[in-house]
Amino acid sequence: MKNIILASTSTIHGSDFLEYLLDDLEDLFGAIDEVLFIPYARPNGVSHDDYTNKAQEAFTKIGLTLHGIHEHQDPQTALANAKGIFVGGGNTFVLVKALYEKGLMPILKERIISGMPYLGTSAGSNICGLSLGTTNDMPIVYPPSFSTLGVVPFNINPHYLDPDPKSTHMGETRETRIKEFHKFNDTTVIGLREGSFLRVWNNSIVLNGDLNARIFEPDEPAREVKTGTDLKIYLNK
Amino acid sequence: MKNIILASTSTIHGSDFLEYLLDDLEDLFGAIDEVLFIPYARPNGVSHDDYTNKAQEAFTKIGLTLHGIHEHQDPQTALANAKGIFVGGGNTFVLVKALYEKGLMPILKERIISGMPYLGTSAGSNICGLSLGTTNDMPIVYPPSFSTLGVVPFNINPHYLDPDPKSTHMGETRETRIKEFHKFNDTTVIGLREGSFLRVWNNSIVLNGDLNARIFEPDEPAREVKTGTDLKIYLNK
């Protein structure tokens, strides 16, 4: 039993924070009135309070109350009692380090697996994969492990970017980086373009949004999957 | 006493591997005939042999012989006896993990500080800073530490890219990522654009190449420094 949305990005160009996802968030969080927000990824180094206020603004539009986990004296208990969770984007290393140091990883995993509604955007989606090994973020802090929740049986690369054929830049393309990942890891990687999200419900993992996703497996050419595809085949891999 | 070239990239667009650097490499390695190559960063997952052959091709043009450190049974002794070193680019995490696991970090640091000529490109430049915290690479393996050689008193961001004002992509710009780094670290960061390199000679650290570099310090606006500038002021910071 799982009830999850994993989005490539919180925000699409020219739109407000979470705006493009609001209908789907009503579906995800339908039965509850209050969501616990985990602001630890701190995009641009924003404070926990400011990030929580920004998320609250969006959630207010669908009649949901949001509280930051940092407002609770005991984050483990707050997480154990949460009705639903939103983990926002930012820096994946900062997020993962905080989750480990506060002892939240196993509780979060158990809650997601037992069906608590979960929204992740960007870094918050990344941590639902098997490792943080396909984040785009800079390693600005050293987490005790790169292993993450593994509530989906693959890794996610959020904000997936296609190579620019006109570029003269010699730094690696995203596809090259993911192929390098596969020299050292067997995990399937889903490149989620901005505006795409995965809707996990029980054993189905359906690609949503206007765009296709790009799937990378070791020793195979990358391939495109159409929006609407159920990726549950990866559950048995 | 130091004698170092730290380049943003091994290759500039439309040119062969190391081609744009060959005159400066003759200056760097002038007095020696043989260079030890460290291929551990494995760009695109290339084998140590293939990477070494590629580097040898470039070094042949300036009359230098290159051997891969992987050809030696005891890499620590090979490094201790090397006349000069080239550490090629690729994945910084893979490189740093290998250097730690083979016990090469302290030896490499000691050799560079005592004046052995050193060339680093991309990941090979990154490791001369204080940490790998400003690499652009994906964390595809978990190194035992993010600390690096610290033979220059700042961090390098190689392949530095200016934001594209026309972009609709919502992933973080390079500048945003470096600013996030400064929420958690005090280290100065030098954004080295492709074609730029630092020439370290004793206590001078001169920016070379056609382009300016971008310097980031905590709590200060980023600023441009002109090619030809000596960055030795950072030695006393």
What would the pLDDT profile of A190-237 be if each residue is shown by its tens digit? 999 999 999 999 889 999 999 999 999 999 999 999 999 999 888 765
* pTM of the model as a whole: 0.96
For A11-31, b where at least 16 C-beta lie within 10 A, e where not — what string? bbeeeeebebbeebbeebbee
Give the per-residue pLDDT at A1. Answer: 87
| Residue A124 confidence class, pLDDT cut points 50, 70, 90 | very high
Phi and psi (nearest 5°) for A36? -90, 130
CA atoms lying within 13 Å on the CB side of residue B231: 28
Residue B86 sits at the vertex; the CA angle it makes with B210 and A146, to the nearest 5 degrees, is: 95
Q: Quick check: is B182 catalytic?
A: no
Give the residue numbers in A contacting B (CB under 8 Å), as ranges.
9, 11-14, 42-45, 90-91, 93-94, 132-142, 145-146, 158-159, 161, 168-172, 176-185, 194
Q: Quick check: is B122 catalytic?
A: yes
Give the per-residue pLDDT at A150. Answer: 97
A161 chain-B contacts, CB cut-off 8 A = 169, 171
Distance from CA of A100 to the nearest CA of B (A): 16
Distance from CA of B159 to the nearest CA of A (A): 6
Other beta carbons less than 10 A from residue A63's beta carbon: 9
What would the pLDDT profile of B24-67 be if each residue is shown by its tens digit? 999 999 989 999 999 999 999 999 999 999 999 999 999 999 99
Give the per-residue pLDDT at A165. Answer: 82
In angstroms, the CA B99 to CA B38 distance is 9
Residue B231 has pLDDT above 60, yes or no: yes
List, in sequence order, every beta strand (DSSP E) within B8-107: 34-38, 65-68, 85-87
**Average pLDDT of chain A to the nearest whole number:** 95
B176 chain-A contacts, CB cut-off 8 A = 44
Task: For residue B154, give both structure tokens.
Answer: 């700042």
Give the per-residue pLDDT at B236. Answer: 62
B185 chain-A contacts, CB cut-off 8 A = 140
Note whether B171 contacts A179, CB cutoff 8 Å.
Answer: no
- Report DSSP letters for A148-179, one per residue: ---SSSSEEETT-----TT----SPPHHHHHH
Phi and psi (nearest 5°) for A233? -55, -25
Closest B-chain CA to A181? B140
Residue A85 has pLDDT above 70, yes or no: yes
Give the per-residue pLDDT at A234. Answer: 81
Q: B8, B10, B122, B196: which one is catalytic?
A: B122
Q: Is A131 exposed, middle or buried (0-12, 13-18, 19+ CB in 10 A)?
A: buried
Distance from CA of B140 to the nearest CA of A (A): 5
Give the per-residue pLDDT at B31. Answer: 84
pLDDT over 90 for what percent of chain A? 90
Give the per-residue pLDDT at A237. Answer: 57
What would the pLDDT profile of B202-219 be if each residue is shown by its tens digit? 889 999 999 999 999 999
Domain ranges of chain B: 3-235
The average pLDDT across B221-234 equals: 93
In angstroms, the CA B195 to CA B204 distance is 19
What would the pLDDT profile of A125-141 be if each residue is shown by its tens digit? 999 999 999 999 999 99
AA identity, residue B3 = N
Note whether A133 contacts B138, CB cutoff 8 Å.
Answer: yes
Give the per-residue pLDDT at B35. Answer: 98
| Residue B237 confidence class, pLDDT cut points 50, 70, 90 | low
In angstroms, the CA B153 to CA B128 distance is 9
Residue A141 sits at the vertex; the CA angle it makes with A135 and A145, to the nearest 5 degrees, is: 65
Distance from CA of A1 to the nearest CA of B (A): 30
Q: At what angle do helices A105-113 and A92-101 cross, to 10 degrees?
A: 100
What would the pLDDT profile of B139-196 be if each residue is shown by its tens digit? 999 999 999 999 999 999 999 999 888 888 888 899 999 999 999 999 999 999 999 9
What would the pLDDT profile of B73-119 be if each residue is shown by its tens digit? 999 999 999 999 999 999 999 999 999 999 999 999 999 999 999 99
Residue among A28, A45, A105, A34 nearest A71 (CA): A34
Identify the CATH number of the domain defined by range B3-235.
3.40.50.880
For B165-186, b where at least 16 C-beta lie within 10 A, e where not — what string? eeeeebbbebbebbbbbbbbbe
Q: Quick check: is B137 catalytic?
A: yes
Residue among A137, A136, A123, A220 nearest A173 (CA): A136
Q: Bridge-partner residues for A200, per DSSP?
A: A4, A205
